[in-house]
């Protein structure tokens, strides 16, 4: 059995494979490079579990990065329990055939409480006084301290937020090396998010992307070389491609203006009240799940939203079923944006009444995905404001790091719909020619490709001098 590493280079597409990515471009061309028909919706968690289960979201239940919990009447984003996935994962299938297979999940999503042998995932410390400290969750438990003692504290604020940088992907790559050297998993899942940040901030063709692309290219060259020197099969892929956008759709403002959405006032802030609303939307990049209180509203709402500027498609449950998306968690209607547009979660009309979390990095409290968290307020006083607030936090005082602008026009790249051009689809490539990768890959085919890889009779050989490191 040849040991395998599955490397997820988020945001990589053929559009980017040029002289800005010299190593990855050569590797793609020389190692069976193919495009993948994206998952739908083409967002992080859905794409990952199409790959890892071989099923579409109607079967595995991961209909987006977040959804409305009808029992709790709460919108929940970026949860972490693997119990949320309702279909067998690739490691469960492999372990059923060979219980001795060792699997490491390094930062792929829904990582906690799964049946992998080694798990590493972001898990900040949220203290009672409101402070947040970077940290990770691991299995086995002692791996948490071992990794952070050797690599430093996980750079959480470089993983998401206005300080995002190559540092988080570099830490994950270094973590993958440590896990390989110390544990030799048969299958390692490695997540490299760096491209995602710049592509959403600037779009794929902005001059600022040159440095970001070079950074991930150099990181991948080093990481691929490390694994190849140890005799591993490399399968590299991405979740989606990111395309340029210049329009944002405030779907919840439209619903509120037309009497569908309800808010409540708390200490001068307007908070979305989903349980009281006739209808509201959970925005997730270029798709939005719309939840409706009574089925009698369905036809009127569908007709109304079909006319909304920037909306390409409004899918009811029957149409979702044809797309493999219909599930109790999915919206009663699913909205898909035009190619140049994306959905924001904003529901207030006066920024003075916006909730306090609107100007902070708060991925769990916001009732929708917010890519504006990648930006910082452009005021010249912002650095002084940030320094003062960080000092206050170190001294133990409660303070709000409210430096995120409320300005959806800043976002220049998005994903979620199926792009018209294959150049904007995700990609897959491998250094193992015996895999014979199909020319017409769909996202759910990755599961079968991994099964095939582990069925091949090609033993791993690790050079003795490397294995003794």
pLDDT in tens, 435-449: 999 899 999 999 999
CB environment 40-63: b (16+ within 10 A), e (fewer): bbbbbbbbbbbbbbbbbbbbbbbb
CB environment 127-149: b (16+ within 10 A), e (fewer): eeeebeebbbbbbeeebbeebbe
Q: Report pLDDT for 465.
A: 40
Q: Report pLDDT for 468.
A: 39
β-bridge partners, 441: 36
Q: Report pLDDT for 458.
A: 45
Q: Report pLDDT for 127.
A: 80
Global pTM value: 0.94
207 exposure class (CB count in 10 Å sphere: 0-12, 13-18, 19+): exposed
Q: Report pLDDT for 462.
A: 46
102 exposure class (CB count in 10 Å sphere: 0-12, 13-18, 19+): middle
Tens of pLDDT, residue by residue over 59-90, are 999 999 999 999 999 999 999 999 999 999 99
The series of mean pLDDT values per 10 residues for the chain, 469 residues long, is 95 97 98 97 98 98 98 96 98 96 98 97 86 92 97 97 97 98 98 97 96 98 98 98 98 98 96 98 98 95 96 98 97 98 98 96 96 91 78 74 93 98 98 92 97 74 42
Q: Report pLDDT for 457.
A: 55
Query: Residue 452: which H helix or E strand, with range?
Result: helix 445-455
- Nearest to residue 410, comparing CAs of 260, 247, 283, 301? 247
Please report the sign of the dihedral spanned by the C-alpha atoms of residue 78, residue 79, residue 81, residue 87: negative
DSSP code at position 434: G
């Amino acid at each position: 059995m040849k040991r395998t590493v599955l490397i997820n280079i988020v945001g990589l597409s053929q559009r980017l494979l040029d002289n800005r990515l010299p190593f990855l471009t050569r590797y793609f061309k020389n190692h069976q490079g193919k495009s993948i028909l994206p998952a739908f919706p083409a967002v992080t968690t859905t794409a990952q579990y199409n790959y890892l289960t071989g099923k579409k979201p109607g079967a595995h239940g991961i209909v987006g990065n977040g959804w409305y919990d009808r029992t709790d009447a709460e919108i929940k984003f970026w949860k972490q329990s693997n119990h949320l996935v309702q279909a067998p994962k690739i490691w469960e299938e492999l372990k059923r055939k060979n219980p001795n297979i060792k699997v490491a999940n390094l930062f792929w999503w829904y990582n906690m409480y799964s049946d992998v042998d080694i798990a590493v995932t972001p898990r900040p410390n949220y203290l009672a006084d409101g402070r947040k400290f970077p940290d990770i969750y691991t299995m086995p438990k002692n791996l948490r301290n071992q990794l952070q003692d050797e690599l430093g504290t996980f750079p959480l604020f470089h993983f998401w937020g206005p300080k995002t940088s190559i540092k988080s992907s570099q830490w994950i790559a270094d973590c993958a090396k440590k896990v390989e050297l110390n544990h030799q998993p048969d299958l390692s899942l490695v997540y490299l998010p760096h491209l995602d940040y710049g592509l959403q901030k600037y779009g794929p063709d902005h001059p600022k992307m040159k440095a970001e692309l070079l950074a991930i290219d150099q990181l991948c060259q080093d990481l691929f070389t490390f694994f190849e020197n140890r005799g591993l099969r490399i399968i590299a892929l991405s979740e989606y491609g990111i395309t340029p956008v210049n329009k944002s759709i405030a779907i919840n403002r439209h619903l509120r203006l037309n009497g569908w959405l309800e808010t409540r006032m708390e200490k001068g802030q307007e908070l979305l009240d989903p349980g009281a609303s006739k209808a509201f939307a959970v925005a997730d990049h270029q798709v939005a799940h719309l939840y409706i209180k009574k089925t009698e509203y369905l036809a009127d709402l569908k007709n109304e939203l079909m006319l909304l500027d920037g909306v390409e498609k409004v899918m009811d449950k029957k149409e979702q079923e044809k797309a493999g998306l219909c599930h109790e968690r999915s919206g009663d209607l699913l909205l898909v944006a035009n190619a140049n547009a994306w959905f924001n979660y904003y529901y207030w009309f006066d920024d003075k009444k916006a909730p306090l979390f609107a100007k902070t990095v708060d991925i769990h409290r916001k009732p929708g995905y917010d890519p504006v968290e990648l930006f910082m307020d452009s005021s010249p006083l912002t650095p002084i404001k940030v320094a003062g607030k960080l000092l206050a936090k170190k001294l133990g005082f409660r303070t709000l790091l409210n430096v995120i602008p409320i300005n959806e026009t800043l976002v220049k790249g998005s994903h979620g719909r199926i792009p018209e051009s294959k150049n904007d689809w995700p990609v897959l490539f491998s250094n193992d020619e015996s895999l014979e990768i199909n020319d017409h890959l769909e996202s759910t085919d990755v599961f079968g490709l991994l099964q095939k890889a582990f069925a091949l009779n090609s033993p791993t050989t690790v050079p003795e001098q490397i294995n003794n490191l």
